[in-house]
């Protein structure tokens, strides 16, 4: 039978001693965690192992002996090492041996049958696998596919041989607490035996994090309480809050900040990563917003923008007026119904005139408003972009109104036409059965119905043209807003901390392992080096994506075309289900 | 112990199969694909630059020529780093697993390791590829829900695409190791 021994690379140059670790019988593999050096008292070693076992729930035992000598071991040492096998009985008993300064290793695994019958002890073939203990301790294994019927967190030792190795090393933190400068009874060698690694900044940050988190959590709870009570009191305000995307974004950020600064500790590494990703995302957002603010103020762009806003609004209104004049004439050579054309055209022209008057009324306050809005960029670039999207929505409100009027008119006409078409053929819509049934109409019903049908059919091109033009304009505005929302979503959901971790410390996020065969001599055991295979970037983004507001268009292209054809209003960004108009 | 043999792939190009025998339980197969030739590189570069020069004579804009140079350089770098595979390796270790490595022309290596507990079998399958019927070696993975079912088929040597004679060599050695592994795993 082939046994596998996982040996840490840091112990390859350690002095002789005992091998301490965990034996996994299902995988027939032994994971060596540390080396206990001579001299030691067996009772104290057993006590230490019992303590570690209690602290970490991992079955740590003495697995065998490790011999690091200059030349071939002497006979007395050989007997001494075998005698140790009798004290710490373990099946199988490993005897690893290495000549100092050379690359030749030797490994024997014996099943100790008892001192009375050494001849019946069997020897098995051993594969030595070297692993970097620090990297395996710090890394987190991501299984390739998560099956739907597997529970999350099902990384017990019985699931997958390599997950067992990772778990063993990760759970045995208690064993790695003592280093060689300690005055304890037992001397150990492992990855931290040269001294525990820590950083002053990290320790200070941990110590300061407690009170800071508490303070910020109280502040944030006050803010959210204040915003909650005001929204539900007045109806017009709550209606406006739900329309503006800025409020959505601010609420989202408030939720994220509450989660980051909550005093509850993260339960598992995934939650910790999520918190870290959110924090980095917020910090980047604020940094970009401050850069934008400084750029705007340096070139005094706010003043220029305020000066340019009114002429731009005037220009847009003028272009719309030209468009309506064109529609009222003979657009693209089509002949319109003169009376309806004039009515609709004049109605929309008057609407534009009203809009321009309101804009001119607001013009003295524009600069002040813009300056305050520009200040909000210090809350983050996403907030500034949301405000930009809202300003676009407000400035093109008249296009939205025209679209709604045109769509309602067209929808009414289409419904009337379909119903009268059914009458024309002698059928009726049965509301009870939700289907078309035949029906016998009176003569005067048929007469009036056919008359109305003819009128609607001949007025259809005019209405359809107005509807088409304003729908295209509305779709253009929606497309621009959509691009801005896409950018905001990107900043919100990109897991920057995970990507940075993957770039700088690729062993922390592991997709699996890879093996390399080291120099091999016949007669010696096979030696492999186990390295960590890092997660590809696409999987990092997919696994650690932050949840966003969920502003995705709910329609597929087919349903969108269907709604456009029948004149139903489209609400691409409304996820709350509130209907306007 | 190492030996090298020469085979051909499905298009007729020359492949070199290197077999390294580390121990009775560990075997490595290394398949080297034909390298990128100077002729093909020159042909592609000349085509791109002729097209760019033709556009330049039409438009009189020298940006087209610089753009063509950038496109050629970036295209070549992208091809070497993401597309052109130089060597494919299959490492089988008894009772540990099967590892597949692809080395790209720029030096990048991408590795996949499958644990032995997940491997059901290694078989040679037939497939219809464009207008040909080809053979390919693949690893069948076990279905965790159903003990004798198969959840996934992982093809090996996908970009080298050797012919049947090469595949039979690899298949025989893999089956030896898998049979040995099954025999030892069933015995206590």
Domain assignment of residue A515, yes or no: no
Cβ contact A271:A264 at 8 Å: no
Q: Is the pLDDT of residue A528 over 80?
A: yes
Please indicate, yes or no, whether residues B69 and B88 belong to a single structural domain of this protein: no
Q: Is the pLDDT of residue B142 over 80?
A: yes
Please tell me if residue B113 touches chain A, with a CB cutoff of 8 Å: yes
Q: What's the whole-number mean pLDDT along residues B4-23? A: 90
Domain assignment of residue A533, yes or no: no
Please indicate, yes or no, whether residues A428 and A559 belong to a single structural domain of this protein: yes
Domain assignment of residue A510, yes or no: no
What is the DSSP pairing of strand A123-131 with strand A2-8?
parallel
The minimal CB distance from B115 to the residues A149, A160, A520 is found for: A160
* Model confidence band, residue A477 (pLDDT cutoffs 50, 70, 90): very high
Residue with tokens 């063993």: A168
A532, with CB counted inside 10 A (0-12, 13-18, 19+), is buried
Alpha-carbon Rg for chain B, nearest whole angstrom, is 22
The Cα–Cα gap between A172 and A151 comes to 24
- Coil, helix or strand for A470? helix
Please indicate, yes or no, whether residues A181 and A226 belong to a single structural domain of this protein: no
Compute the CA torsion angle A197, A203, A204, A209 (nearest 10 deg). Answer: 150
Please indicate, yes or no, whether residues A20 and A104 belong to a single structural domain of this protein: yes
pLDDT of residue A151: 41
The minimal CB distance from A2 to the residues B20, B91, B184 is found for: B184
Residues of A with CB under 8 A from a CB of B: 1-2, 4, 28, 125, 127, 129, 147, 149, 160-162, 512-515, 517, 520, 526, 528, 533
**Region of residue A535 (phi > 0: left; psi between -120 and 50: alpha; otherwise: beta):** beta
pLDDT of residue A73: 56
Tokens of B155: 């093809």
Above pLDDT 70, what percent of chain B? 98
**Percent composition of chain A: helix, strand, coil (DSSP 3-state, to 5):** 60, 15, 25
Domain boundary among the residues B67, B82, B97 is at B82
Please indicate, yes or no, whether residues A465 and A554 belong to a single structural domain of this protein: yes
Please indicate, yes or no, whether residues A109 and A205 belong to a single structural domain of this protein: no
Q: Is the pLDDT of residue A575 over 50?
A: no
Three-class DSSP labels, A161-197: HHHHHHHHHHHHHHHHHCCCCCCCCCCEECCCCCCCC
Q: What's the whole-number mean pLDDT along residues A152-165? A: 58
CA distance A9 to chain B (A): 19
Domain boundary among the residues A238, A263, A292 is at A292
CA distance A142 to chain B (A): 13
The Cα–Cα gap between A210 and A200 comes to 16
pLDDT of residue A233: 64
Please indicate, yes or no, whether residues A341 and A405 belong to a single structural domain of this protein: yes
| Number of structural domains in chain A | 3
pLDDT of residue A283: 92
The Cα–Cα gap between B1 and A557 comes to 62
Q: Which domain holds residue B45?
A: 38-82
pLDDT of residue A282: 92
> Which residue in chain B is spatially nearest to A125 when comparing CA positions?
B25
Convert the pLDDT of each residue in A370-387 to its tens digit.
888 788 888 889 998 998
Of A93 and B177, more confident: B177
Please indicate, yes or no, whether residues A459 and A559 belong to a single structural domain of this protein: yes
The Cα–Cα gap between A492 and A478 comes to 20
Using alpha carbons, list the distances in angstroms from residue B77 to B45, B72, B81, B107: 13, 9, 6, 12
Q: Of the candidates A40, A39, A107, A31, which has an alpha carbon nearest to the alpha carbon of residue A63?
A: A31
Please indicate, yes or no, whether residues A367 and A459 belong to a single structural domain of this protein: yes
Please tell me if residue B159 touches chain A, with a CB cutoff of 8 Å: no
Cβ contact A148:A163 at 8 Å: no
pLDDT of residue A572: 65
Please indicate, yes or no, whether residues B89 and B151 belong to a single structural domain of this protein: yes
Q: Is the pLDDT of residue A96 over 50?
A: yes
Choose from A247-256, A328-337, B140-149, B153-162 the range with maximum mean pLDDT: B153-162
Cβ contact A452:A420 at 8 Å: yes
Tokens of A166: 């990772």
DSSP string, A106-174: EEEEE----TT-GGG--EEEEEEEEE-HHHHHH-EE--S---TTSPTT---TTS-HHHHHHHHHHHGGG
The Cα–Cα gap between A21 and A423 comes to 87
- Taking residue A184's Cβ as centre, other Cβ atoms within 10 Å add up to 12
* Model confidence band, residue A118 (pLDDT cutoffs 50, 70, 90): very low
pLDDT of residue B57: 92
Domain boundary among the residues B51, B82, B113 is at B82
A232, with CB counted inside 10 A (0-12, 13-18, 19+), is exposed
Q: Is the pLDDT of residue A154 over 70?
A: no
Tokens of A343: 């009515």
Least confident span in A115-124, A199-208, A459-468, B88-97: A115-124
Domain assignment of residue A581, yes or no: no
The Cα–Cα gap between A61 and A92 comes to 12
Domain boundary among the residues B82, B114, B140 is at B82
The Cα–Cα gap between A385 and A480 comes to 12
Please tell me if residue B106 touches chain A, with a CB cutoff of 8 Å: no
pLDDT of residue B90: 95
- Coil, helix or strand for A26? coil
Convert the pLDDT of each residue in A258-274 to its tens digit.
888 887 777 788 888 99
Please tell me if residue B96 touches chain A, with a CB cutoff of 8 Å: yes
Tokens of A497: 């901390």
Please indicate, yes or no, whether residues B58 and B110 belong to a single structural domain of this protein: no
Q: Is the pLDDT of residue A116 over 70?
A: no
Convert the pLDDT of each residue in A225-244 to its tens digit.
887 776 666 777 777 777 78
* Chain B residues within an 8 Å CB radius of A146: none
Q: Is the pLDDT of residue A513 over 60?
A: yes
Q: Is the pLDDT of residue A193 over 80?
A: no
CATH number at residue A124: 3.40.140
Please indicate, yes or no, whether residues A354 and A403 belong to a single structural domain of this protein: yes
Question: Is residue A291 within a helix (H) or strand (E), and if so which, with residue range?
Answer: helix A269-298
Please tell me if residue B184 touches chain A, with a CB cutoff of 8 Å: yes
Please indicate, yes or no, whether residues A428 and A448 belong to a single structural domain of this protein: yes
Which parts of A380-523 fold into alpha helices (H)?
381-395, 397-425, 443-493, 496-504
CA distance B67 to chain A (A): 28
Please indicate, yes or no, whether residues B21 and B97 belong to a single structural domain of this protein: yes
Q: In sequence order, which residues have a C-beta less than 8 Å from that of residue A208 and are 6 or more positions away?
A: none
Please indicate, yes or no, whether residues B52 and B63 belong to a single structural domain of this protein: yes
Q: Which domain holds residue A254?
A: 200-292
Q: Is the pLDDT of residue B135 over 90?
A: yes
Q: What's the whole-number mean pLDDT along residues B84-99? A: 92
Alpha-carbon Rg for chain A, nearest whole angstrom, is 38
Q: Is the pLDDT of residue A213 over 50?
A: yes
* Chain A residues within an 8 Å CB radius of B95: 2, 4, 28, 127
CA distance A70 to chain B (A): 27
Cβ contact A471:A568 at 8 Å: no
Choose from A286-290, A340-344, A396-400 the range with maximum mean pLDDT: A286-290
Please indicate, yes or no, whether residues B102 and B154 belong to a single structural domain of this protein: yes
Q: In sequence order, which residues have a C-beta less than 8 Å from that of residue A106 and are 6 or more positions away?
A: A96, A97, A98, A524, A525
Please indicate, yes or no, whether residues B49 and B17 belong to a single structural domain of this protein: no
Cβ contact B185:B95 at 8 Å: yes
Q: Is the pLDDT of residue A49 over 90?
A: no
Of A348 and A367, more confident: A348
* Model confidence band, residue A153 (pLDDT cutoffs 50, 70, 90): very low
The dihedrals phi and psi of A318, each to the nearest 5 degrees, come to: -65, -45
* Model confidence band, residue A501 (pLDDT cutoffs 50, 70, 90): very high
pLDDT of residue A553: 61
The Cα–Cα gap between A375 and A372 comes to 5
CB contact under 8 A, B117 and A160: yes
> Which residue in chain A is spatially nearest to B143 when comparing CA positions?
A147
CB contact under 8 A, B91 and A515: yes
Q: In sequence order, which residues have a C-beta less than 8 Å from that of residue A7 and are 6 or more positions away?
A: A32, A96, A128, A129, A130, A131
Please indicate, yes or no, whether residues B55 and B21 belong to a single structural domain of this protein: no
- Coil, helix or strand for A448? helix
* Model confidence band, residue A410 (pLDDT cutoffs 50, 70, 90): very high
pLDDT of residue A123: 64
Long-range CB contact pairs, A441-449, < 8 A, 24+: A449/A420, A449/A423, A449/A424
Compute the CA torsion angle A145, A147, A150, A151 (nearest 10 deg). Answer: 70
* Model confidence band, residue A71 (pLDDT cutoffs 50, 70, 90): low
* Model confidence band, residue A500 (pLDDT cutoffs 50, 70, 90): very high
* Model confidence band, residue A577 (pLDDT cutoffs 50, 70, 90): very low
Cβ contact B104:B81 at 8 Å: yes
Domain assignment of residue A490, yes or no: yes
pLDDT of residue A414: 92
Of B168 and B143, more confident: B168
CB contact under 8 A, B184 and A1: yes
Which residue out of B95, B100, B114 would a mutagenesis test of the A interface target, given it has the greatest number of A Cβ atoms within 10 Å? B95
pLDDT of residue A550: 60
pLDDT of residue A471: 92
Q: Of the candidates B113, B181, B31, which has an alpha carbon nearest to the alpha carbon of residue A129?
A: B113
The Cα–Cα gap between B8 and B168 comes to 13
CB contact under 8 A, A514 and B101: yes
Q: Is the pLDDT of residue A436 over 90?
A: no
Please indicate, yes or no, whether residues A175 and A272 belong to a single structural domain of this protein: no
* Model confidence band, residue A565 (pLDDT cutoffs 50, 70, 90): confident
What is the DSSP pairing of strand B2-8 with strand A140-141?
unpaired
pLDDT of residue A182: 72
Domain assignment of residue A519, yes or no: no
Please tell me if residue B40 touches chain A, with a CB cutoff of 8 Å: no
Domain assignment of residue A532, yes or no: no
Is the alpha carbon torsion for A202, A207, A212, A213 positive or negative?
positive
Which residue out of B23, B116, B178 would a mutagenesis test of the A interface target, given it has the greatest number of A Cβ atoms within 10 Å? B23
Q: What's the whole-number mean pLDDT along residues A291-296? A: 88
Q: Of the candidates A493, A421, A488, A484, which has an alpha carbon nearest to the alpha carbon of residue A450?
A: A421
Q: A with B: how many residue pairs have Cβ under 8 Å apart?
A: 55
Cβ contact B186:B35 at 8 Å: no
> Which residue in chain B is spatially nearest to A511 when comparing CA positions?
B112
Please indicate, yes or no, whether residues B57 and B114 belong to a single structural domain of this protein: no
Please indicate, yes or no, whether residues B47 and B59 belong to a single structural domain of this protein: yes
pLDDT of residue A158: 38
* Chain A residues within an 8 Å CB radius of B145: 147, 149
Please indicate, yes or no, whether residues A253 and A358 belong to a single structural domain of this protein: no
Domain assignment of residue A523, yes or no: no
* Chain B residues within an 8 Å CB radius of A515: 91, 93, 96, 99, 113
pLDDT of residue A120: 43
Please indicate, yes or no, whether residues B12 and B69 belong to a single structural domain of this protein: no
| Number of structural domains in chain B | 2
Cβ contact A474:A403 at 8 Å: yes
Least confident span in A178-187, A494-503, B106-115: A178-187
pLDDT of residue A580: 39
Is the alpha carbon torsion for A348, A349, A353, A355 positive or negative?
positive
Which residue out of A517, A519, A527, A532 would a mutagenesis test of the B interface target, given it has the greatest number of B Cβ atoms within 10 Å? A517
Please indicate, yes or no, whether residues B17 and B30 belong to a single structural domain of this protein: yes
Please tell me if residue B18 touches chain A, with a CB cutoff of 8 Å: no
The Cα–Cα gap between A13 and A193 comes to 12
């Amino acid at each position: 039978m082939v046994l596998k021994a996982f040996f840490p690379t840091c112990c390859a140059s350690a002095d002789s001693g005992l091998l301490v670790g965990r034996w996994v019988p299902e995988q027939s593999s032994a994971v060596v965690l540390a080396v206990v050096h001579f001299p030691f008292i067996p009772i104290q070693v057993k006590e230490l192992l019992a303590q570690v076992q209690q602290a970490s729930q991992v079955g740590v035992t003495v697995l065998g002996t490790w011999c690091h000598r200059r030349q071939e071991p002497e006979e007395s040492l050989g007997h001494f090492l075998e005698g140790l096998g009798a004290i710490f009985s373990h099946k199988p008993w490993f005897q690893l041996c290495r000549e100092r300064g050379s690359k030749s290793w030797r490994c024997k695994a014996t099943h100790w049958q008892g001192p009375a019958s050494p001849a019946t002890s069997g020897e098995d073939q051993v594969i030595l696998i070297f692993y970097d203990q620090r990297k395996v301790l710090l890394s987190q294994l991501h299984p390739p596919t998560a099956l739907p019927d597997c529970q999350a967190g099902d990384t017990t030792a019985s699931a997958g041989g390599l997950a067992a190795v990772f778990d063993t090393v990760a759970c045995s933190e208690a064993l790695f607490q003592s280093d060689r400068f300690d005055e304890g009874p037992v001397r150990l060698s492992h990855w931290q035996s040269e001294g525990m690694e820590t950083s002053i900044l990290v320790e200070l940050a941990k110590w300061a994090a407690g009170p800071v988190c508490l303070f910020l959590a109280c502040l944030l709870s006050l803010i959210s309480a204040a915003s909650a009570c005001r929204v539900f009191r007045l109806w017009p305000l709550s209606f406006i809050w739900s329309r503006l995307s800025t409020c959505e974004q601010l609420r989202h950020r408030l939720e994220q900040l509450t989660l980051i600064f909550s005093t509850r500790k993260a339960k598992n590494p995934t939650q910790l990563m999520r918190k870290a990703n959110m924090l980095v995302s917020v910090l980047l957002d604020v940094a970009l917003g401050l850069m934008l603010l400084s750029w705007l103020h340096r070139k005094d762009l706010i003043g220029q923008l305020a000066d340019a806003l009114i002429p731009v609004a005037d220009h847009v209104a003028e272009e719309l007026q030209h468009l309506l004049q064109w529609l009222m004439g003979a657009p693209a050579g089509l002949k319109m119904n003169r009376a309806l054309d004039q009515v609709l055209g004049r109605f929309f022209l008057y609407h534009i005139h009203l809009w321009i008057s309101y804009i001119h009324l607001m013009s003295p306050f524009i600069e002040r408003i813009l300056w305050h809005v520009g200040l909000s960029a210090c809350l983050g670039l996403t907030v500034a972009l949301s405000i930009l999207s809202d300003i676009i929505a407000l400035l093109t409100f008249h296009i939205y109104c025209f679209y709604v009027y045109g769509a309602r008119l067209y929808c009414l006409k289409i419904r009337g036409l379909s119903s009268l078409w059914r009458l024309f053929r002698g059928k009726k819509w049965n509301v009870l059965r939700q289907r078309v049934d035949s029906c016998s109409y009176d003569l005067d019903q048929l007469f009036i119905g056919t008359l109305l049908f003819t009128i609607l059919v001949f007025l259809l091109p005019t209405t359809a043209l107005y509807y088409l033009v304003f729908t295209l304009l509305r779709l253009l505005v929606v497309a621009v807003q959509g691009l801005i929302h896409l950018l905001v979503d990107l900043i919100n959901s990109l897991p920057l901390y995970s990507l940075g971790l993957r770039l700088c410390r690729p062993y922390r996020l592991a997709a699996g392992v890879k093996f390399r065969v080291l120099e091999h001599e016949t007669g010696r055991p096979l030696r492999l080096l186990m390295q960590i295979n890092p997660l590809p970037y696409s999987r990092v983004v997919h696994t650690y994506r932050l949840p966003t507001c969920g502003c995705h268009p709910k329609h597929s292209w087919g349903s969108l075309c269907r709604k456009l054809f029948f004149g139903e209003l489209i609400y691409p960004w409304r996820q709350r289900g509130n209907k306007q108009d | 112990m190492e030996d090298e043999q020469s085979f051909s792939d499905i298009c007729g190009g020359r492949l070199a199969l290197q077999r390294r025998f580390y121990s009775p339980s560990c075997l490595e197969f290394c398949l080297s694909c034909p390298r990128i030739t100077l002729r093909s590189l020159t042909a592609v570069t000349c085509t791109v630059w002729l097209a760019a020069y033709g556009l330049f004579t039409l438009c009189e804009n020298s940006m087209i020529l610089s753009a063509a140079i950038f496109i050629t350089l970036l295209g070549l770098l992208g091809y070497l780093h993401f597309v052109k595979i130089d060597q494919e390796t299959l490492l089988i270790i008894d009772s540990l697993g099967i590892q597949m490595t692809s080395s790209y022309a720029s030096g990048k290596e991408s590795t996949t390791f499958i644990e032995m507990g997940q491997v059901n079998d290694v078989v040679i399958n037939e497939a219809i590829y464009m207008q040909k019927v080809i053979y390919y070696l693949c690893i069948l993975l076990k279905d965790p829900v159903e003990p004798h079912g198969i959840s996934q088929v992982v093809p090996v040597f996908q970009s080298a695409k050797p012919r049947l004679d090469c595949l039979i060599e690899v298949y025989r050695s893999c089956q030896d190791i898998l049979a040995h592994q099954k025999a030892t795993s069933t015995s206590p």
